[in-house]
């Protein structure tokens, strides 16, 4: 019989994710020798090495990959057990861990406020992250739910659309194209674009759209936050493409304007995402139902305001 502990499996997961023992020890708030000792004891219990050093990174061996997969499966089952027990107790207390794409944070705060009003005893953890981090958290099963744009296929995820997410081209009001009608795509493609980083859902959608029309976007400047894009566009550094939900205040204040570009807005969706087969706790289930029921109403009220 294998003699290993959940603590050892958690350390294995951290070392595999961080790539080396020192970063994993810092994340786990353990000394590096303590981390190394736990991995060594785990290897002795299994009778096989779990890591091999390639360059400056510790890469998993085949035995390491199999053990990591088993450890993650055990973690998922323990979470499911915790949620099942919470079901028996009812929605009193519990925790909710949600991550949202940065562009979804504008309406998420209202959703969370409404949820807290309905379920004040639930402990909430809300993380605003980029798309890459969000997908990693879903893969690691470290969050209950995610609010994001179109998730990639083939990643064992379950996604439900809950709100339209129109992407618009924005510019500073003094821009020469402000007020122009039906701006040709070739004309706008020649403008300097302030874009999101590689891997961003918004950037991928924009580049795919222009590619379908045989055009290449003039990506003049990259930003990893929507706020930075809006500020750069307002300063006259170029045009940008953002979710209409994120620029309501700037449009009202007339610090930004939406350009009338042929083919825009790009019609996308926000999705409520979880791992397939994940059993949601009562707290997480209540939040998912709230999102599906109230998100559109909240977005409409913000637009009217």
| pLDDT tens-place string over residues 31-69 | 999 989 999 999 898 899 999 888 778 889 999 899 999
* 21 lies in the same domain as 61: yes
Q: Name the β-bridge partners of 100.
A: 128, 147
pTM for this model (two decimals): 0.66
* 257 lies in the same domain as 273: no
* 263 lies in the same domain as 275: no
**CA 29 to mean position of chain CA atoms:** 25
Over 90: is that where the pLDDT of 254 sits? Answer: yes
* 106 lies in the same domain as 141: yes
pLDDT of residue 103: 79
- Domain extent, residue 148, equals 74-163+269-304
User: C-alpha angle 188/189/195, rounded to 5°?
Assistant: 100
Q: Among 79-83, 164-168, 301-305, which is the least confidently predicted range?
A: 301-305
DSSP H stretches of helix in the chain: 6-18, 21-28, 32-46, 62-89, 105-118, 131-140, 185-189, 201-212, 226-234, 248-253, 282-304
Flag whether 278 is in a domain: yes
| 3-class secondary structure, 245 | helix
* 105 lies in the same domain as 253: no
* 133 lies in the same domain as 85: yes
Over 60: is that where the pLDDT of 88 sits? Answer: no
pLDDT of residue 302: 60
pLDDT in tens, 121-150: 888 999 998 888 999 999 888 999 999 988
pLDDT of residue 296: 80
Q: How far apart are CA 63 and CA 48, in angstroms?
A: 7
Q: Which residues contact 115 (CB under 8 A, 6 or more apart)?
A: 96, 122, 124, 286, 287, 290
**Highest mean pLDDT pick, 128-137, 145-154, 186-195, 241-250:** 186-195
Mean pLDDT score, 16-27: 88
pLDDT of residue 57: 81
Flag whether 1 is in a domain: no
- For 259-291, b where at least 16 C-beta lie within 10 A, e where not — what string? bebeebbbebebbbbbbeebbbbbbbbbbbebb
Give the chain's domain count.
3
* 242 confidence band (pLDDT: 50, 70, 90): very high
């Amino acid at each position: 019989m294998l003699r290993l502990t959940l603590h050892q499996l958690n350390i294995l997961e951290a070392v595999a994710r961080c790539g080396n023992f020192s970063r994993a020890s810092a994340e786990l708030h353990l000394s590096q020798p303590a981390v190394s000792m736990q991995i060594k004891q785990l290897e002795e219990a299994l009778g096989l090495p779990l890591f091999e050093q390639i360059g400056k990174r510790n890469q998993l061996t085949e035995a390491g990959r199999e053990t990591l997969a088993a450890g993650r499966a055990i973690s998922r089952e323990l979470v499911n057990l915790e949620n099942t027990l919470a079901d028996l107790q009812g929605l009193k207390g519990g925790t909710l861990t949600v991550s949202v794409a940065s562009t979804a944070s504008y309406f998420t705060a209202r959703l969370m406020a409404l949820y807290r009003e309905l379920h004040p005893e639930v402990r909430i953890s809300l993380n605003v992250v980029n798309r890459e981090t969000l997908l990693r958290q879903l893969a690691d099963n470290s969050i209950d739910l995610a609010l994001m744009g179109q998730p990639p296929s083939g990643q064992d995820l379950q996604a439900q659309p809950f709100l339209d997410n129109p992407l618009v081209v924005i510019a500073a009001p003094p821009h020469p194209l402000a007020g122009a009608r039906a701006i040709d795509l070739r004309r706008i493609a020649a403008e300097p674009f302030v874009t999101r980083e590689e891997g961003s859902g918004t950037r991928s959608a924009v580049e795919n759209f222009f590619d379908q029309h045989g055009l290449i976007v003039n990506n003049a400047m990259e930003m990893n936050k929507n706020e930075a894009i809006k500020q750069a566009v307002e300063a006259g550094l170029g045009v940008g493409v953002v979710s209409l939900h994120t620029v309501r205040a700037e449009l009202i204040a007339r610090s930004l304007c939406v350009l009338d570009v042929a083919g825009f807005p790009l019609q996308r969706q926000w999705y409520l995402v979880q791992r397939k087969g994940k059993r949601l706790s009562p707290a997480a289930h209540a939040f998912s139902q709230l999102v599906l029921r109230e998100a559109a109403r909240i977005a409409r009220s913000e637009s009217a305001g």
